[in-house]
Amino acid sequence: AIRMTQSPSSFSASTGDRVTITCRASQGISSYLAWYQQKPGKAPKLLIYAASTLQSGVPSRFSGSGSGTDFTLTISCLQSEDFATYYCQQYYSYPSITFGQGTRLEIK
């Protein structure tokens, strides 16, 4: 199975900061990568698919990049509602989909 590793596992930041979360695949997955945001007690919400395509309705401060094994999710100017846990997900080996372990973003 393809293993997805996110870094960092958790960190704190302040509103207005620019933050970057990294996701690394154990083998090349082209651009078959999605990003989700999850808030406590809620279902995950799709942010980005195909590594860099912003889902409709998602604010433009979110962006994704990368291909092959290394990917990033960037939030250009943190807002209070962005403090949450973020997951990457590969679908290169569909239907054997795998997720990263999550990155928890907390308020500094």
Partner 1 sequence: EVQLVESGGGLVQPGGSLRLSCAASGFTVSSNYMSWVRQAPGKGLEWVSVIYSGGSTYYADSVKGRFTISRDNSKNTLYLQMNSLRAEDTAVYYCARDPSTSGSYGGWFDPWGQGTLVTVSS
Distance linking the first and last C-alpha atoms of the chain: 36
> Is residue 53 classed as helix, strand or coil in its secondary structure?
strand
Residue (of 14, 35, 33) closest to 105 by Cα position: 14
Residue 49 lies near partner 1 (rule: CB under 8 A): yes
Contact between 37 and partner 1 by CB under 8 A: the answer reads: no
Q: How far is the CB of 16 from partner 1 (least distance, A)?
A: 28
For partner 1 (CB under 8 A), the number of binding residues is: 22
- Is the link from the previous residue into 95 a cis peptide, with omega within 30 of 0? yes
Contact residue for partner 1 among 67, 69, 72, 101 (CB under 8 A):
101
Residue 104 makes contact with partner 1 by CB under 8 A: no
Among 22, 45, 54, 63, binds partner 1 (CB under 8 A): 45
Cα–Cα separations (whole angstroms), residue 13 to 19, 43, 83, 95: 8, 23, 9, 35
The structure tokens 């995950």 sit at: 44
Among 46, 69, 72, 83, binds partner 1 (CB under 8 A): 46
Q: Is 94 in the site for partner 1 (CB under 8 A)?
A: yes
- Which tokens is 58 given? 């998602």
**Binding interface with partner 1 (CB under 8 A):** 32, 34, 36, 42-46, 49, 55, 87, 89, 91, 94-102
